[in-house]
């Protein structure tokens, strides 16, 4: 009979093995159901026997919603980048340089994919993951171990044998196409900004504070570089195969080559075949295989001489321009859009591409009827990159930016300090008015269900809603609305209920919903939290506003201008009268004291109960001073998990008191 401890350990080992089968080898041995049952059983046992906890248990892969700031870590060896080549000729030149560098010695080359994600460095000690660090600036990065642990294809404990007691392995964190598409579809539904490519999405996800959300997004990882003092082999290829046997996912198609002909074939093959891979790649990497030869070749300041990237050409199509349209957004900014003869590019049909602003049109020197190059490199959004001048019809006129609003005819004005033009007729230009109504009701603003783009236009065209505040008197038009084709009582009631419910939406959302130039979601939150209510915000001057973190003069000016306008003040008053929330909830008043008066405090590590920012505020509210580095003058250190080793050592040598968060909170009388 197993003891409980043995059962727990056996379950952990089995679950680790099934994770590897499923996520790395793609060949599960058991059903998802059986796997879940095993995991549940382990969870139950661990809960009953907390004394057998292990931070690397597979039950900890689900992440947590604890808010943590990232601690930094200095890389033992800097994380460099790779030199790029764009043609076979440039690759040949690299091979020739390597041969010369090695004094004519023969050498072999390993070819592998260049994965397009965000790089990661993992450290293992005695076969256990101890740390995951982002590239950062190459010298030091963020410790993101909790987030990385949620990636099921990364082994927390190694399999097999023969690994060095301590080693580092580097690789790429990726968001596979499928997970990327799902994430963006979700974001579109929630009206959140879309990620331009899987690389940005992977990097953004890895730095999220909430590891439960990271777990949900479905990151993956591939490894390509083993570092350490006692590696099992004297060459890259065999070391990577060893890493594969320890449970890592290694470049699926590494190839060992000795002639330039083989390298050419390898490039030609993957230029096409990469499109079938489940994740994005932006090229290939070629590496000198032998580690002694790598050492001999060494490094330039930025990259190794023993490796080089070959970048695939972005997919490009040439298609005629039908016409350039000029579209007016809710802020009045006019965006030129190239309407194209539809063309197939990387699997989707492209019909339109933004030309962004007047400067870009001028730079591309686009003429009527030109044939335009469209590219979709790693990006999802197609981009116009050039014009086929030879195909231009003689006498074709250059495309000129409009001087008047294409909708209301008002003379356009240049946005100060920017390349864009805008229609200043804010109160009379229909797309601006409808755009502001549509924005106001959006999910991340007032979240009013039942009103979208078409309904905003309909409500405006019937004269019922000319600004967001009119929504709250829409009920007066109930009978008229019912007369419109396609407007049943259910539709109308749902809309009116949505409007009623929006009165409970928080003040920070209301500030965002107003459509103040340069005030996006994050800025709106900052304004709402600092100014606390609409009267303070409306009456704040530029100086008061710029005193808020991250609010610069441009935003401050725009806020002041917005509230200086009587029409906007009137909208605010009508919203207030309708019962829309115009202030933040009161903060608990007993949270300030002089307990820390005169005390200097250093914060280090990651915390479970509050974020680093919150602790900073708490220290200041209680009369203390928060500083960055430990010295003789430090009164105590508020230490979380994974406190930086340098700080810890210094604190110990100076005899500075170290408090954990519970001790700190009870000192402030806030213990739970």
Give the residue numbers marked as catalytic. Answer: 114
Closer residue to ligand IVH (CB): 378 or 498:
378
Q: What's the angle, vertex CA 258, arms to CA 253 and CA 262, rounded to 5?
A: 60
Residue holding tokens 């804010």?
426
Closer residue to ligand IVH (CB): 14 or 238:
238
Closer residue to ligand IVH (CB): 113 or 384:
113
Sequence-distant (6+) residues with CB within 8 A of 103 are none
CB-CB neighbours of 463 under 10 Å: 10
Quick one: which segment of 111-119, 183-191, 212-220, 632-640 binds ligand IVH (CB under 6 A)? 111-119
Quick one: which segment of 114-122, 356-364, 584-592, 632-640 binds ligand IVH (CB under 6 A)? 114-122
Quick one: which segment of 74-82, 193-201, 509-517, 572-580 binds ligand IVH (CB under 6 A)? 74-82
Residue 319 exposure: Cα atoms within 13 Å on the Cβ side: 22
By beta-carbon distance, which residue lies closest to ligand IVH? 119
Q: In what order do the strands lie in the sheet with 109-115?
A: 84-85, 307-311, 281-288, 109-115, 255-257
Closer residue to ligand IVH (CB): 119 or 200:
119
Closer residue to ligand IVH (CB): 134 or 634:
134
What b/e string do you get for 538-560 counting C-beta neighbours within 10 Å, with b at 16 or more? bebebebbbebeebeeebbbbbb
DSSP symbol at 27 = -
Closer residue to ligand IVH (CB): 305 or 609:
305
Instruction: Please compute Rg for the chain using Cα positions.
Output: 30
Closer residue to ligand IVH (CB): 113 or 658:
113
Closest alpha carbon to 279 in 224, 240, 221, 225:
221
Quick one: which segment of 76-84, 430-438, 529-537, 600-608 binds ligand IVH (CB under 6 A)? 76-84
Q: Under a CB-based contact definition with an 8 Å cutoff, are residues 147 and 214 in contact? A: yes
Closer residue to ligand IVH (CB): 172 or 467:
172
CB-CB neighbours of 274 under 10 Å: 18
Sequence-distant (6+) residues with CB within 8 A of 59 are 39, 42, 43, 46
Sequence-distant (6+) residues with CB within 8 A of 102 are 293, 296, 297
Question: DSSP per residue over 501-521, as a string?
Answer: HGGGS-HHHHHHHT--TT--H
Quick one: which segment of 75-83, 352-360, 559-567, 604-612 binds ligand IVH (CB under 6 A)? 75-83
Of 19, 57, 85, 119, the one binding ligand IVH (CB under 6 A) is 119
Least separation in angstroms between residue 307's CB and ligand IVH is 6
Closer residue to ligand IVH (CB): 149 or 226:
226
Task: Show contacts with ligand IVH in window 234-293 (CB under 6 A).
Answer: 251, 285
Of 46, 142, 146, 172, the one binding ligand IVH (CB under 6 A) is 172
Q: Is 206 in the site for ligand IVH (CB under 6 A)?
A: no
Least separation in angstroms between residue 123's CB and ligand IVH is 16
Least separation in angstroms between residue 138's CB and ligand IVH is 9
Quick one: which segment of 30-38, 113-121, 422-430, 617-625 binds ligand IVH (CB under 6 A)? 113-121
Of 155, 176, 247, 304, the one binding ligand IVH (CB under 6 A) is 304
The Cα-based distances of 193 to 338, 356, 550 in angstroms read 22, 17, 20
Of 81, 348, 539, 657, the one binding ligand IVH (CB under 6 A) is 81
> What token pair was written down for 461?
């065209």
Quick one: which segment of 109-117, 213-221, 512-520, 541-549 binds ligand IVH (CB under 6 A)? 109-117
Least separation in angstroms between residue 350's CB and ligand IVH is 27
Q: Under a CB-based contact definition with an 8 Å cutoff, are residues 199 and 180 in contact? A: no
> What token pair was written down for 284?
């290939």
Q: Is 82 in the site for ligand IVH (CB under 6 A)?
A: yes
Torsion of CA 446, 447, 452, 453, to 10 degrees: 40
Residue holding tokens 């991250």?
550
Least separation in angstroms between residue 312's CB and ligand IVH is 13
Least separation in angstroms between residue 345's CB and ligand IVH is 24
Least separation in angstroms between residue 170's CB and ligand IVH is 7
CB-CB neighbours of 317 under 10 Å: 16
Least separation in angstroms between residue 510's CB and ligand IVH is 42
Q: Is 109 in the site for ligand IVH (CB under 6 A)?
A: no
- Which 3 state secondary structure label does DSSP give 127? coil
The Cα–Cα gap between 79 and 227 comes to 11
> Site mask, ligand IVH, residues 577-606, x = CB under 6 A?
------------------------------
The Cα-based distances of 370 to 255, 316, 374 in angstroms read 44, 16, 12
Least separation in angstroms between residue 147's CB and ligand IVH is 17
Angle between helical axes of 566-578 and 553-564 (0-180°, round to 10): 80
Quick one: which segment of 112-120, 226-234, 402-410, 574-582 binds ligand IVH (CB under 6 A)? 112-120
Q: Where are the alpha helices (H) located in 150-248, listed in sequence order?
A: 177-189, 198-206, 211-217, 236-245
Least separation in angstroms between residue 311's CB and ligand IVH is 9
Least separation in angstroms between residue 119's CB and ligand IVH is 3
Q: Is 98 in the site for ligand IVH (CB under 6 A)?
A: no
Closest alpha carbon to 222 in 204, 240, 203, 197:
240
Question: DSSP per residue over 615-657, as a string?
Answer: HHHHHHHTT-EEESS--TT--EEEE-BT--HHHHHHHHHHT-E
Q: Is 309 in the site for ligand IVH (CB under 6 A)?
A: yes
Task: Show contacts with ligand IVH in window 448-477 (CB under 6 A).
Answer: none
Binding site for ligand IVH (CB under 6 A): 80-82, 112-115, 119, 172, 224-225, 251, 285, 304, 307, 309
């Amino acid at each position: 009979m197993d003891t409980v401890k043995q059962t727990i350990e056996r379950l952990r080992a089995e679950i680790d093995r099934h994770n590897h089968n499923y996520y790395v080898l793609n060949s599960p041995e058991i059903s998802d159901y059986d796997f879940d049952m095993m995991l549940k059983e382990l969870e139950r046992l661990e809960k009953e026997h907390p004394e057998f906890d292990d931070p690397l248990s597979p039950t900890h892969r689900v992440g947590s919603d604890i808010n943590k700031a990232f601690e930094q870590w200095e890389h033992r060896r800097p994380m460099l980048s790779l030199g790029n080549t764009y043609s076979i000729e440039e690759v040949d030149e690299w091979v020739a340089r390597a041969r010369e560098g090695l004094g004519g010695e023969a050498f072999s080359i390993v070819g592998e994919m260049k994965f397009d994600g965000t790089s990661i460095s993992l450290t293992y000690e005695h076969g256990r993951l101890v740390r995951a660090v982002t590239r950062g600036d190459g010298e030091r990065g963020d410790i993101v171990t909790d987030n990385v642990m949620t990636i099921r294809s990364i082994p927390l404990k190694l399999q097999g044998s023969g690994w060095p007691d301590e080693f580092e392995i580097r690789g790429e964190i990726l968001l596979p196409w499928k997970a990327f598409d799902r994430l963006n579809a979700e974001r579109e539904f929630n009206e959140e900004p879309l990620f331009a490519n899987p690389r940005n999405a992977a990097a953004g996800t890895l730095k999220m504070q909430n590891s439960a959300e990271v777990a949900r997004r479905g990151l993956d990882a591939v490894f390509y570089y083993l570092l350490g003092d006692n590696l099992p082999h004297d060459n890259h290829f065999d070391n990577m195969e060893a890493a594969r046997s320890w449970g890592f996912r290694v470049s699926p198609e590494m190839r060992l080559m000795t002639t330039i002909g083989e390298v050419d074939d390898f490039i030609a093959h993957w230029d096409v075949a990469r499109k079938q891979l489940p994740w994005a790649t932006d090229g290939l990497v070629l590496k000198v295989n032998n580690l002694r030869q790598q050492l001999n070749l060494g490094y330039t300041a930025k990259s190794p001489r023993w490796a080089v990237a070959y970048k695939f050409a972005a997919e490009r199509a040439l298609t005629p321009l039908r016409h350039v349209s000029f579209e007016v957004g809710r802020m009045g900014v006019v965006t030129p859009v190239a309407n194209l003869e539809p063309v197939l590019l990387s699997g989707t049909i492209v019909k339109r591409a933004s030309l962004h602003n007047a400067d870009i049109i001028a730079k591309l020197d686009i003429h009527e009827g030109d044939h335009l190059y469209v590219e979709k490199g790693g990006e999802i959004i197609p981009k116009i990159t050039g014009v086929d001048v030879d195909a231009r019809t003689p006498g074709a006129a250059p495309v000129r930016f409009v001087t008047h609003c294409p909708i209301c005819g008002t003379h356009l004005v240049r946005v100060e300090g920017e390349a864009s033009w805008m229609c200043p007729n804010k109160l009379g230009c229909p797309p601006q008015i409808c755009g502001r109504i549509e924005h106001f009701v959006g999910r991340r603003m007032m979240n009013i269900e039942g009103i979208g783009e078409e309904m905003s236009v309909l409500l405006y065209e019937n004269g019922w809603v000319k600004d967001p505040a009119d929504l709250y008197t829409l009920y007066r038009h109930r009978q008229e609305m019912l007369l419109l084709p396609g407007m049943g009582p259910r539709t109308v009631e749902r809309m009116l209920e949505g409007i009623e419910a929006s009165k409970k939406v928080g003040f920070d959302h209301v500030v965002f919903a107003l459509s103040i130039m340069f005030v996006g979601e994050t800025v709106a939150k900052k304004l709402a939290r600092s100014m606390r209510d609409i009267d303070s915000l409306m009456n704040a001057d530029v100086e008061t506003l710029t005193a808020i973190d991250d609010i610069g003069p441009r935003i401050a000016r725009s806020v002041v201008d917005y509230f200086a306008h009587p029409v906007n003040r009137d909208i605010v008053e009508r919203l207030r009268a309708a019962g829309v929330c115009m202030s933040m909830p009161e903060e608990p008043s007993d949270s300030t004291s002089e307990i820390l008066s005169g005390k200097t405090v250093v914060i280090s590590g990651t915390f479970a109960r509050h974020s680093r920012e919150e602790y900073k505020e708490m220290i200041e509210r209680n009369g203390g001073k928060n500083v960055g580095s430990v010295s003789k003058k430090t009164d105590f250190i508020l230490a979380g998990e994974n406190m930086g080793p340098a700080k810890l050592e210094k604190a110990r040598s100076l005899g500075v008191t170290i408090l954990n968060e519970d001790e700190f909170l009870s000192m402030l009388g806030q213990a739970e």
